[in-house]
Amino acid sequence: MRPPSAIRAIGCIAHAALERSDGAWQPLPGFGDSPYVQAGGDIIWIGTSDALMHPRSVVLDGAARAVAGERLRAGALVPWRPPVLSFDARAVAALRAGCAALHRDLMRIGAPQGFAAMLAGRPPGFPLDRAAFRVRELAQSFDDNDVEAVYDAGLPLLGLGPGLTPSGDDLVGAALFVRRSIAGSPADAKRWSDVAGRLIDAAQLRSHAIGAALFRDLAVGQSFAPLHRLAVILAAAAGQAQAIDAARALAAIGHSSGWDMLAGFIIGVTGAMTSAAERRIR
């Protein structure tokens, strides 16, 4: 008889979902072969990679694979919670300088995928190339600190791109992920929180179930551990070597998801997307 799968690490959303369901989970309708499943009324991810630690992650021991029908028990494991990011003026200045440096040293991270190709001055591949002008509008809107323009530019990007996490969701979500944390005042933070909420609502209709769930996580500041780590390293001005390593770990997520998140992160901090835009960093 096959022993039950052992959980090595678990995110806070996944932990709460399995608590509600008493460990039961089911395939997600329409995504039967996906590592994303449903439990306790929520979407969670089941796999073996620590690199994909996320509030929705259930990381199993070794090469174990969860089998439909078995119950997953977290036992006494303390769930992983992403750190709440909030940066003072000095940290924001370090973030901006760090993002500009990553932009300049982009090829040290790897070969840009998805919308991140635009950071290297190249058009993204089809079908993303048809939305490149939307990305430029989004970057300009962040550069102008214009939340309404961000909404208008970000809305058509939601749900855009193939895969379990559409490139547009990753790009816009990561930009919102960081922007609220660098707001200069509570009123400014509320403006960014409000526009994030409106885009979260829109994603329910414009993206699929997995994309909408992960977009929400990004937009409220709870996402993949490598993204949080990159933000902390840049804000601490820990050095370019550490920043490059953190960016590589982020870029390694999915086919282009990590790269799209990196591009969105840089947009959210600097308003820069192309080399010309980079010169306009505030």
Q: Would the pLDDT of 39 be above 50?
A: yes
53 Cβ neighbours under 8 A, 6+ residues apart: 9, 11, 59, 80, 224, 225
Structure confidence by residue, pLDDT tens digits, 216-261:
999 999 999 999 999 999 999 999 999 999 999 999 999 999 999 9
Per-residue confidence (pLDDT) for residue 1, from 0 to 100: 43
High-pLDDT (> 70) share of the chain, %:
95
pLDDT band at residue 51 using 50, 70 and 90 as cut-offs: confident
E-strand ranges in 84-190 read: none
- Asked if residue 127 has a cis previous peptide bond (ω within 30° of 0), the answer is yes
pLDDT-derived band of residue 277, with 50, 70 and 90 as boundaries? very low
Residue with the larger pLDDT of the pair 61 and 134: 134
Q: Determine the pLDDT at residue 63.
A: 64
* Whether the predicted pLDDT of 40 surpasses 80: yes
